[in-house]
Amino acid sequence: MRDCFIERLSQLAERDPRVLLITGDLGFCVLDDYRKRFPKQFINAGVAEQNMAGLATGLALEGHIVYIYSIANFVFMRCLEQIRNDASYHECNVNVVCIGGGFSYGALGISHHATEDLAIMRSLPGVTVVSPADHWEASEATEAVANTAGVSYLRLDKSTAGTSLVMDEQFQLGRIRQVREGHDITLAATGGILAEALAAAERLAEEGIEARVLSVHTLKPLDEETLIAAAKETGGIVTVEEHTVDGGLGSAVAESLLEAGVAPRFFHRLGLRQGFSSIVGSQEYLRAQYRLDRHAIAGKARELLKPVARNLVIRSAA
């Protein structure tokens, strides 16, 4: 996803001199080509994330379209005050680019696990929160946030869901993508972990269970229409996120449906539930450890569908 971001950003910078990239002293191998091609549209702010956010705000107030770039917890958590009080409050076009969402930097431990970022960023007024699932979504989102007023948070994952593009499909912020048909259950995922949801859907299909799979690439604004349809048309909803269940995708979906007065037959959030992610290891290993992989998703779907199937049998017998 990171490479797709840089490639699309380079295209933007070539067309529009207002586009600027500020890094917090990292990403040089990835950014070398951009830096050489657009030296006047690149700044290394050093290991000083608060200054990076403040600098971005000032440049945005002068009419620039600014991207600030660093490892997930460094790019938003260390400078949260500046993002909130400076950029967000003044509705500046500052795009906060998170490299390594979720367990992407799994082996580096909790300091590098971005598992609270979606909750924190979606709580800030006027901030658009985007968590693409594959290369195409990441590329499209890179340009979409440039054309979106105010602050945007772009969460890029190390993993990817591969290619889920449908022919002639148009990307739209705030519009959920349905990447698999199904009426038995809905699996709604955000970020690269969509790959696990799709793999779980394949396993369920072998058992005669058809899962609708949604790529919720934008958490804010959230596509209520598609979620309401899923609640009404499928047996229930399971949300999947490489993030704490508190305040993330699952919370956003639950809030949206309850306020709309729509209740699915069942609802469950798959994500981190207790404590910090204190285990270290690869992203794949951590997903398995925290029961967020395809096996756990399929297992939870089967468990939730059993009462629904039992009720249908009882009604048919009656």
- Asked if 49 is an active-site residue, the reply is yes
Give dist(CA 86, CA 281) in Å, integer: 36
Which of 46, 52, 49, 9 is closest to 31 using CA atoms?
Answer: 9
Q: Is 66 contained in some domain?
A: yes
22 plus 124 within the same structural domain: yes
145 plus 214 within the same structural domain: no
102 plus 226 within the same structural domain: no
Give dist(CA 294, CA 302) in Å, integer: 12
SS (H, E, C) 118-144: HHHHHCCCCCEEECCCCHHHHHHHHHH
> What proportion of the chain, given as a percentage, has pLDDT over 90?
90
- Count of the separate structural domains present in the chain: 2
CATH number at residue 110: 3.40.50.970
Give dist(CA 136, CA 152) in Å, integer: 18
| Domain end residue (candidates: 156, 185, 218) | 156
Give dist(CA 66, CA 54) in Å, integer: 11
- The pLDDT tens digits for 254-294 are 999 999 999 999 999 999 998 899 999 999 999 999 999 99
Q: Is 161 contained in some domain?
A: no
CATH number at residue 286: 3.40.50.920
| Domain end residue (candidates: 103, 126, 156) | 156
pLDDT at position 154 is: 98
Q: Is 166 contained in some domain?
A: no
Which of 114, 118, 103, 102 is closest to 253 using CA atoms?
Answer: 118
Q: Is 185 contained in some domain?
A: yes
CB 64 within 8 A of CB 20: yes
111 plus 202 within the same structural domain: no
Phi, then psi, of 196 in degrees rounded to 5: -70, -35
Region class of 289: left (phi > 0), else alpha (psi between -120 and 50), else beta: alpha
Q: Is 172 contained in some domain?
A: no
- Residue 166, pLDDT > 80, answer no
63 plus 22 within the same structural domain: yes
Q: Is 205 contained in some domain?
A: yes
Looking at 49, 137, 140, 242, which residue is catalytic?
Answer: 49
- The pLDDT tens digits for 93-119 are 999 999 999 999 999 999 999 999 999
pLDDT at position 313 is: 42
Q: Is 232 contained in some domain?
A: yes
Q: Is 75 contained in some domain?
A: yes
124 plus 18 within the same structural domain: yes
181 plus 148 within the same structural domain: no
197 plus 307 within the same structural domain: yes
144 plus 187 within the same structural domain: no
pTM confidence score: 0.94
- The pLDDT tens digits for 4-49 are 999 999 999 999 999 999 999 987 789 999 999 999 999 999 999 9
Q: In which domain, by residue range, is 203 found?
A: 177-317
104 plus 145 within the same structural domain: yes
